[in-house]
């Protein structure tokens, strides 16, 4: 999964500029980000169901093979429509993260499961640090002659490497006993329908905040390269290094600082501070005409993302009974996936129509709404009690 996420990190910062090489307008370039999230949203549940039926190993092998094809096609693209097909295929294969999580659940005891899931979290963090840095080096330092093909082909080579090691070293984790447990668990689970969810206002509030935060982050992710090119005359290398810088800040915060802050401030106050930092960072980008100011802005953004998302996952999980955890967190993740589709779509359209700062200003306004909602959560007796217990 680290290799998989490394490939994702290599491509993300340079993708909008790559699309511009084929004459794409900003709204078309950001759709490349949206289509990836759309296909991941549609196919993650399918890969999960197939892995329950046929095993984790074959699904992981199939998706890694698909990633090789997707990145190779991206590297060899000579038209915009091939970019879209390749990116859509990559999104389909990226749904294998759910299968990898299921594999971890198969081979760990409940007491050690959080540590196992943390390994995948570490893969995300490291992939998002090293990926953009590698992508920046491979594209070259000359913005006018950037090599967009080499990073994609390098990512294809990484996926091929992962496929080889999975084929040789990765055993099947889904035993017949585990299959029986999955079947029995599915039969015991209560049906959780949409109307029942609407009867939980605090949960709905948290999910809306989750959607808003992800929407704002997705607008930034999909247009930062276009903004930096227009405002600072940067090429893909400089933007990739900026993404790597945010990855380093996020890793420092999530690697240990968040535990200290949570202990002394509490989850709800920390969530509010995270939303505030993210909103201020997005607003500050609109006025960043120097590298120093931009680094301050992206530090605030990295702070906001690193604090708010894990805290939200924790608070949402507190709203569910043990037998509902999967479904409740699945609903939250679905709202996040929809935001990653809508965010880039809006970002590209507003960038083209209202100017380069419009996506970031939109993100700031969205964070004002999220901040208002987070203050309502502070007054929630249920969550305050849950926080005191934790």
CATH of the domain at 342: 1.20.1250.20
**What's the mean pLDDT in 43-56?**
81
How far is residue 60's CA from residue 27's CA, in Å, rounded to a whole number?
Answer: 33
Domain count, the chain: 2
Q: Quote the tokens at residue 383.
A: 């969550």
| In the chain, % of residues over pLDDT 90 | 35
Question: Do both 283 and 330 map to the same domain?
Answer: yes
Please determine, for residue 112, whether its predicted confidence score (pLDDT) is greater than 70.
no
| pLDDT at residue 366, as a whole number | 96
Distance of CA 63 to the CA centre of its chain: 18
* Structure confidence by residue, pLDDT tens digits, 283-337: 999 999 889 999 999 999 999 988 887 788 777 767 655 545 555 665 676 788 8
Region of poorest pLDDT, from 142-151, 189-198, 350-359, 374-383: 189-198
Question: Do both 350 and 326 map to the same domain?
Answer: yes
Question: Do both 72 and 199 map to the same domain?
Answer: no
The sign of the CA dihedral 121, 315, 257, 131 is positive
| pLDDT at residue 351, as a whole number | 92
| pLDDT at residue 127, as a whole number | 81
Question: How many residues comprise the chain?
Answer: 390
| pLDDT at residue 8, as a whole number | 83
How far is residue 60's CA from residue 170's CA, in Å, rounded to a whole number?
Answer: 10
Please determine, for residue 240, whether its predicted confidence score (pLDDT) is greater than 80.
yes
* Structure confidence by residue, pLDDT tens digits, 243-261: 889 888 887 887 667 778 8
| pLDDT at residue 48, as a whole number | 78
**What's the mean pLDDT in 45-54?**
80
Please determine, for residue 224, whether its predicted confidence score (pLDDT) is greater than 50.
yes
How far is residue 308's CA from residue 270's CA, in Å, rounded to a whole number?
Answer: 7
Please determine, for residue 388, whether its predicted confidence score (pLDDT) is greater than 60.
no
pLDDT class of 383 with cuts at 50, 70, 90: very low
> Which is nearest to 52 in space by CA: 128, 105, 118?
105
Q: Among the three residues 167, 188, 209, which one is the final residue of a domain in this structure?
A: 188
* Structure confidence by residue, pLDDT tens digits, 144-161: 788 989 999 999 999 999
Number of neighbours of residue 69 by Cβ within 10 angstroms: 15
Q: Which residues contact residue 327 at a Cβ distance below 8 angstroms, ignoring those fewer than 6 apart?
A: 189, 192, 320
| In the chain, % of residues over pLDDT 70 | 82
Question: Do both 52 and 146 map to the same domain?
Answer: yes
Q: Give the HSE-up count for residue 245: Cα atoms under 13 Å, Cβ half-sphere.
A: 16
Question: Do both 225 and 163 map to the same domain?
Answer: no
How far is residue 93's CA from residue 40's CA, in Å, rounded to a whole number?
Answer: 7
* Structure confidence by residue, pLDDT tens digits, 167-190: 999 988 777 666 666 665 555 555
Q: Give residue 370's domain range.
A: 195-390
**What's the mean pLDDT in 178-204?**
60
Q: Does residue 12 contact residue 132 with C-beta atoms inside 8 Å?
A: yes
pLDDT class of 386 with cuts at 50, 70, 90: very low
Q: Among the three residues 153, 188, 223, which one is the final residue of a domain in this structure?
A: 188
Q: Which residues contact residue 389 at a Cβ distance below 8 angstroms, ignoring those fewer than 6 apart?
A: none
| pLDDT at residue 113, as a whole number | 58
Question: Do both 178 and 235 map to the same domain?
Answer: no
> Which is nearest to 96 in space by CA: 170, 12, 191?
170
pLDDT class of 381 with cuts at 50, 70, 90: very low
Question: Do both 17 and 85 map to the same domain?
Answer: yes
Q: Among the three residues 139, 171, 188, which one is the final residue of a domain in this structure?
A: 188
| pLDDT at residue 370, as a whole number | 94
Question: Do both 140 and 227 map to the same domain?
Answer: no
| pLDDT at residue 107, as a whole number | 76
| pLDDT at residue 254, as a whole number | 73
Question: Do both 212 and 291 map to the same domain?
Answer: yes
Please determine, for residue 136, whether its predicted confidence score (pLDDT) is greater than 50.
yes
Q: Quote the tokens at residue 379.
A: 């007054």
Cα angle 355, 361, 365; round to 5:
145
Question: Do both 231 and 354 map to the same domain?
Answer: yes
| SS3 call for 386 | helix
Say which DSSP state 323 is in.
Answer: G
| pLDDT at residue 379, as a whole number | 43
Please determine, for residue 195, whether its predicted confidence score (pLDDT) is greater than 80.
no
The sign of the CA dihedral 259, 265, 269, 270 is negative
Q: Does residue 74 contact residue 152 with C-beta atoms inside 8 Å?
A: yes
Q: How big, in percent rounded to 5, are the helix, strand and coil portions of the chain?
A: 85, 0, 15
Question: Do both 14 and 125 map to the same domain?
Answer: yes
Please determine, for residue 116, whether its predicted confidence score (pLDDT) is greater than 90.
no
| pLDDT at residue 158, as a whole number | 92
pLDDT class of 51 with cuts at 50, 70, 90: confident
Q: Does residue 312 contact residue 205 with C-beta atoms inside 8 Å?
A: no
* Structure confidence by residue, pLDDT tens digits, 3-32: 878 888 899 888 888 998 888 888 888 898
* Structure confidence by residue, pLDDT tens digits, 80-111: 999 999 999 999 998 787 788 777 777 777 66
Say which DSSP state 191 is in.
Answer: P
Question: Do both 226 and 173 map to the same domain?
Answer: no
How far is residue 237's CA from residue 196's CA, in Å, rounded to a whole number?
Answer: 48
| SS3 call for 193 | coil
């Amino acid at each position: 999964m680290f290799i998989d996420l490394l490939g994702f990190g290599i491509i993300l910062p340079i993708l909008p500029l790559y699309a511009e090489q084929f004459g794409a307008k900003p709204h078309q370039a950001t759709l490349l980000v949206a289509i990836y999230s759309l296909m991941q949203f549609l196919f993650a549940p399918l890969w999960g169901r197939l892995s329950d039926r046929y095993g984790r190993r074959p699904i992981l092998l199939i998706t890694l093979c698909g990633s090789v094809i997707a990145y190779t096609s991206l590297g060899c693209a000579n038209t915009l429509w091939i970019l879209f097909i390749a990116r859509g295929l990559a999104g389909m294969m990226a749904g294998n993260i759910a299968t990898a999580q299921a594999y971890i659940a198969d081979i760990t005891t409940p007491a050690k499961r959080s540590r196992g899931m943390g390994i995948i979290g570490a893969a995300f963090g490291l992939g998002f640090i090293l990926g953009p840095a590698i992508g920046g080096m491979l594209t070259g330092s000359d913005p006018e002659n950037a090599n967009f093909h080499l990073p994609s082909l390098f990512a294809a080579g990484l996926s091929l490497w992962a496929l080889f090691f999975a084929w040789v070293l990765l055993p099947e984790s889904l035993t017949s006993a585990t299959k029986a447990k999955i079947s029995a668990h599915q039969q015991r689970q209560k049906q959780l329908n949409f109307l029942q969810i609407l009867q939980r206002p605090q949960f709905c509030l948290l999910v809306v905040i989750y959607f808003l935060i992800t929407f704002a982050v997705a607008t930034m992710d999909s247009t930062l390269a276009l903004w930096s090119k227009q405002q600072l005359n940067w090429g893909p290398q400089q933007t990739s290094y900026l993404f790597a810088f945010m990855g380093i800040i996020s890793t420092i915060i999530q690697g240990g600082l968040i535990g200290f802050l949570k202990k002394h401030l509490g989850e709800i106050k920390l969530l509010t501070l995270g939303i505030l930092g993210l909103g201020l960072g997005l607003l500050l980008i609109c006025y960043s005409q120097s590298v120093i100011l931009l680094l301050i802005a992206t530090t605030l953004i990295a702070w906001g993302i690193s604090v708010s998302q894990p805290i939200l996952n924790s608070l949402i999980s507190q709203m569910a009974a043990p037998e509902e955890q999967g479904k409740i967190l699945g609903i939250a993740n679905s709202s996040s996936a929809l935001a990653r589709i809508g965010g880039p779509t809006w970002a590209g359209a507003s960038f083209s129509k209202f100017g380069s700062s419009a996506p970031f200003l939109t993100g700031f306004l969205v964070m004002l709404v999220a901040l208002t909602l987070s203050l309502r959560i502070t007054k929630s007796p249920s969550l305050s009690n849950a926080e005191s217990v934790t």
